Amino acid sequence: MARYSTTQFMEAGVPVVRLSEADSQSELLVSPAFGATAYDFRVAGQPVLWAPAPLADLLARPRLCGNPILAPWANRI
């Protein structure tokens, strides 16, 4: 089994990318349609990021949540 994996799927009508790491059982969901924001991060099934609503609700009413992917130029924003 590969240590790292990626899968793409649709949620709430928008594309989502799942990044997984097997050793720590980490899973990160990123939606390019939601500003390339990581909106769900779990380690061993436990949530690490605070997310107030499902992706469909976040797209309809964006709030302060998630973590924007700033690589590779986080200091340039």
Q: What is the pLDDT of residue 49?
A: 79
Phi, psi of 12 (to 5 degrees): 55, 30
Q: What is the rounded average pLDDT of the residues 24-53?
A: 85
**77 pLDDT higher than 60:** no
- The arithmetic mean of pLDDT across residues 16-42, rounded, is 88
Query: How far, in Å, are 5, 16, 27, 57, 62 from residue 52 at the CA level?
Result: 26, 18, 18, 9, 10
Residue 68 above 80 pLDDT?
no
C-alpha–C-alpha distance, residues 52 and 73, integer Å: 28
- Least confident residue range of 4-8, 34-38, 49-53, 63-67: 63-67
Q: Which amino acid is at 41?
A: F
Residue 4 has pLDDT above 90, yes or no: yes
pLDDT value of residue 22? 93
